[in-house]
Chain A
Amino acid sequence: QSVLTQPPSASGTPGQRVTISCSGSSSNIGSNTVNWYQQLPGTAPQLLIYSNNQRPSGVPDRFSGSKSGTSASLAISGLQSEDEADYYCATWDDSLNGWVFGGGTKLTVL
């Protein structure tokens, strides 16, 4: 049972916009920034969004993040087949004194 809650799956057709939610509590998302990781099949997770809404160099601007209260969201616009992957949110938890992850959302491009 993950500390952060994500929908297990999401889907969209090429060109569409999809959003993935991440729900937490006051001790984690409510008081710390959120990072998102993309995990392509058979590979290690890779940083996608940091500090709620910042993109590392090389990440297309089709990917965007936001945070409000104890929830965060990842949005992908102009969906492409190569976006098919697992997506995880993560943040620091003050009560647990450690990093916590969501259970992941498997994105399927139809």
Chain B
Amino acid sequence: QVQLVQSGAQVMRPGASVKVSCKASGYTFTSYFMHWVRQAPGQGPEWMGIINPTGDNTNYAQKFQGRVTMTRDTSTSTVYMELSSLRSEDTALYYCAGSSGYYNYFDYWGQGTLVTVSS
């Protein structure tokens, strides 16, 4: 079955960068678009961006442009999300999610990675 397994929780200092990984299995990795969605405590999900199946095209939400970078390694079926210049408001659960098309619903979700930004 399809599985998206994310890296573990991290505590970061303000101003630092964090990189979260998401390893896929159970399907053809290069057939799915991958999204990153974050959820602050008590809030609804917030879409951060998308990377295409081959990793050569990304689209980031305007709010995160200049601070976020999404990449994928087809040799290890892993996608990465790096967020820089962290501030306390970036404390959230970060999820990877897969869709079969650019405008398609999110079929599969990772378990989430808690990133805490604190001095």
Contacts and interface: CB of A to CB of B under 8 A. Distances in A.
B74 interface: no
Interface string B91-110: 00001000000010111011
Nearest to B102: A92
B71 to A, nearest CB: 19
Interface stretch (A13-21, A67-75, A77-85, A95-103): A95-103
A35 B43 CA distance: 18
**Range of interface residues on B (Cβ < 8 Å):** 20 to 34
B61 interface: yes
A101 B47 contact: yes
Given A35-B105, A51-B105, A99-B35, A45 B45 contact: yes
B44 A96 contact: no
A46 B45 CA distance: 12
A47 B110 CA distance: 13
B62 interface: yes
Chain B interface SS verdict (over half): loop
A110 interface: no
B46 A47 contact: no
Interface residues of A, number: 23
Given A44-B111, A104-B44, 13 more contacts: A2-B44, A44-B112, A45-B45, A45-B95, A47-B106, A88-B44, A90-B45, A90-B105, A96-B62, A97-B59, A98-B47, A98-B61, A101-B44
Given A44-B111, A45-B45, A98 B105 contact: no
Contacts of A51: 105
Top 4 A-B residue pairs of the complex, sorted by shortest distance between their CB atoms = A99-B47, A44-B109, A50-B105, A35-B105
Interface in B18-43: 35, 37, 43
Contacts of A102: 44
Interface in B68-119: 95, 103, 105-107, 109-112
